[in-house]
Amino acid sequence: MKQLLVFIRKEFYHVFRDRRTLLIMFGLPVAQILLFGYALTSEVKNAHIIISDQSMDANTTKIIHKIQSSSYFITEVKSLAGEEIDAAFRKGVVRAVLIFPPQFGEDLQHKGKANVQIVADGADPNTAKTIINYLTAILGDYQQSLADGASAPPGIVPELRMLYNPEGNGSLNFIPGVIALIFMIVCSTLTSVSIVREKELGTMEILLVSPFHPIMVLIAKAIPFLVLSLVNFTFILVLSVGFLDIAIKGSILLLFAESTLFIITCLSVGLLISNIANSQQAAMLISMMGMMLPTLLLTGFMYPLDNMPYILQLISNVVPARWYYLIVKAVMLKGLGFSYIWKETLVLVGMTTVLLSLALLKFKTRLS
Amino acid sequence: MAEQVIICKDLTKRFGDFMAVNKISFEVNRGEIFGFLGANGAGKTTAMRILCGLSYPTSGAATVAGFDVYKQQESIKRNIGYMSQKFSLYENLTVLENIEFYGGVYGLSRKTIRSRSDELINQLGLQQEARKLVGELPLGWKQKLAFSVAIFHQPQIVFLDEPTGGVDPVTRRQFWDMIYAAAASGITVFVTTHYMDEAEYCNRVTIMVDGKIEALDAPQALKARFQANNMEEVFYQLARGAKRSSD
């Protein structure tokens, strides 16, 4: 036990003295959070929208004029039927379509209440949300101006529809993804590199000849990264709450427990890689290509999985980050309890067990 | 007769059809400097790994420091030191931290580590450098420090695997002075080397060819037997018959 502590202390020295490791460890999360957070909440300018005015009355003319005079949109006024809307989106230029139904003007005049439809391109959920917010704000403004004279404000009720991504995955959803990505990078890459470095230096041989148990070498390597990753996690949560105004809705304890599990998954991946790779570069390459890309692409936080070909959806099931992402989203953003995420947790536990056994098995056979 | 700290009897390691180590037998006495020579692929490393408790032999028997290589690997590891050609200290740890780490890995108490490391630093004249990172030391110093660290826990036997590879002749000479000092203090030195002049420094030498021990004696006796002027000639005469050339 004392030997383990001595070893762990040494690992901390390594981490704190290696500028590159420190940068990856603590610089990366800040950069990622700020980049993703602010890049995604930034304003939308010059978004192409189509206004389909089927009512063509004084009200719609005024509203269209209001929209056109804002700098957010490049508008095109033309009437579109059902399939034409889909076709317009498919070309990829149009971000949203605003539809005034034929009876809009009449309804507003006589019933004091009218529907308007906004269809947005959900594949880019942030832009879509921002556009919807702007449009509803303009509609609300107009409504307010009508109310000045009348006793009861007439209601313009926007009906929202997201194409491609009905859930409307938004900026909030990036945070769980970024957390998963950071754990993957920090734990898998740094752990595997730090073990392979000892192999390269020849110190691993010395350790194996010492009475220190080989498995303990792996444990001693993993523990500092586990601890630092939990510190990092806290840091990311503080950043998210403090700078990005994200509220943590669920249990923090559950969040930490699940994160610890995922960190162990990532560490197992790192250990496995360290057994395969013989140089630090190889370890780096395998963990970057093998782990980072799938985490980035197949987790669902950047590109909705539902839009992907079936094969990719199948492959995404073996990406650990995908399950962790679902867990964090459920706990952090939706405030759900363990009863809602036990399946995902079980999948992660299973993956970790398999990965860890593989890593230890490979480590053993390599020794003898 | 001197106490024997390594005893090998028909020690064999087979990988499939390949006899890496083929029935070797020898004894090493306490405090002896025992040279273990052989071309690449002769089976030196495999034999040494067994004696260090890193792998199991296929057949035969061996004890190291009185412990069985089959059943008591842990005890063997506790009683030996090891240093390889690859530089084996951590460059981004200071001299003291390296010593503390290896001392700790061998389970020495903090008090023992402190008193012995003070002693060692004085002995090596590294007072100025004790708190510097090892990466900043010249290679010769690193190598000497690595040897001191390998015997820091006062093992019965120290295994040196080509310890002077890539070191200049002056440092090599100083390094051998340290080996003599260690042997004089009762530590048995088991050393492999490629430098035949270094073989001359050993008390006794074995030469392995194709997994077998072809010769085992004092350098002086070997030279007489093979009518050679130096160990190099002895080695060539024996190694010429080798069928295996490399790992």
- What DSSP character marks residue B54? S
Q: Which residues of chain B have a CB within 8 Å of the CB of A205?
A: 82, 84, 86, 88
Indicate the residue among A148, A163, A178 that finishes a domain: A163
Q: What would the mean pLDDT of B171-196 be, rounded to a whole number?
A: 91
* Enclosing domain of residue A33: 2-39+170-367
The domains located in chain B, with CATH, are: 4-86+139-239 (3.40.50.300)
Indicate whether A255 and A200 sit together in one domain: yes
Is the CB of B92 less than 8 angstroms away from the CB of A203? no
CA distance B222 to B1: 21
Domain boundary among A132, A148, A163: A163
pLDDT for A296 equals: 83
List the CATH number of the domain containing A96. Answer: 3.40.1710.10
Please give the pLDDT value at position A167. 52
- Listed in order, strand segments (DSSP E) in chain A are 47-53, 73-77, 96-100, 113-121, 155-163
Nearest to B52 among A6, A18, A209 (CB): A209
A194 and A56, same domain (yes or no): no
* Alpha carbon B194 to chain centroid, angstroms: 13
Say whether both A272 and A344 belong to one domain: yes
Asked if the model's pLDDT at residue B247 lies above 80, the reply is no
Closest approach of chain B CAs to the CA of A263, in angstroms?
26
Residues A102 and A117 in one domain: yes
Question: What pLDDT, on the 0 to 100 scale, is given for residue B94?
Answer: 93
Q: Which candidate from B82, B86, B93 shows the least CB-CB separation from A209?
A: B82
Q: Which of these ranges, A122-136, A349-363, B54-68, B162-176, has the smallest mean pLDDT?
A: A122-136
Residue A169 confidence class, pLDDT cut points 50, 70, 90? very low
**A210 vs B: CB within 8 A:** yes
A9 in the same domain as A94? no
pLDDT at residue A4 greater than cutoff 50? yes
Q: How far is A14 from chain B (nearest CA, A)?
A: 7
Q: What is the largest CA-CA distance in chain A?
A: 90
A7 touches chain B (CB under 8 A): yes
| Same domain (yes/no): A156, A54 | yes
Q: At CA A36, angle to CA A34 and CA A41, rounded to 5?
A: 95
Q: Does A206 touch chain B (CB under 8 A)?
A: yes
Same domain, A73 and A7: no
Residues of B with CB under 8 A from a CB of A: 52-56, 74, 77-78, 80, 82-93, 97, 100-102, 104-107, 133, 150, 159
Give CA–CA dist A112/A156, Å, rounded: 8
- In this model, does residue A140 exceed pLDDT 70? yes
Position A41 scores a pLDDT of: 52
Tokens of B237: 């005469």
Q: What is the pLDDT of residue B57?
A: 93
Average pLDDT value for residue range B179-208:
91
Contact at CB, A211 and B101, closer than 8 angstroms? no
Under a CB-based contact definition with an 8 Å cutoff, are residues A99 and A15 in contact?
A: no
Q: Within 13 Å, how many C-alpha atoms sit on residue B42's CB side?
A: 23
Contact A224, A15 (CB under 8 A): yes
ipTM of the modeled complex: 0.84
Place of tokens 């070309």: A91
Q: State mean pLDDT over A294-311.
A: 78
| Contact with chain B for residue A19, Cβ under 8 A | no
The runs of H, that is alpha helices, within A70-110 are 82-90, 104-110
Q: How many structural domains are present in chain A? A: 2
Of the residues A163, A187, A221, which one is the last residue of a structural domain? A163
Residues A290 and A340 in one domain: yes
Q: For residue B15, give the nearest of B53, B46, B61 by alpha carbon.
A: B46
Instruction: For residue A251, give both structure tokens.
Output: 């249990």
Q: Are B217 and B210 in contact (CB under 8 A)?
A: no
A118 and A152 together in one domain = yes
Which residues are within 8 A (CB) of A73 and not within 5 positions of it... i.e. 6 or more apart?
A: A46, A47, A48, A49, A67, A131, A134
pLDDT, one tens digit per residue, over B128-156 is 988 999 989 888 888 889 999 999 999 99
Q: Token pair of A46, please?
A: 């010059």
A367 touches chain B (CB under 8 A): yes
The pLDDT value given to residue A30: 83
What is the pLDDT confidence band of residue A227, given thresholds at 50, 70 and 90? very high
Chain segment B63-107, per-residue pLDDT in tens:
999 999 999 988 999 999 999 877 778 988 999 999 999 999 998
The pLDDT score that the predictor gives to residue B45 is 87
> In this complex, do A211 and B80 lie within 8 Å of one another by their Cβ atoms?
no
Instruction: With a cut of 80, say whether residue B242 has pLDDT above it.
Output: no
The reply to whether A21 and A135 lie within a common domain is no
What pLDDT shows up at residue B114?
93
CA B85 vs CA A77, A203, B148, B162, B231: distances in Å: 78, 11, 14, 5, 22
**Whole-angstrom Cα distance, residue A309 to residue A299?**
14
Q: A154 and A50, same structural domain?
A: yes
A48 and A34 in a common domain: no
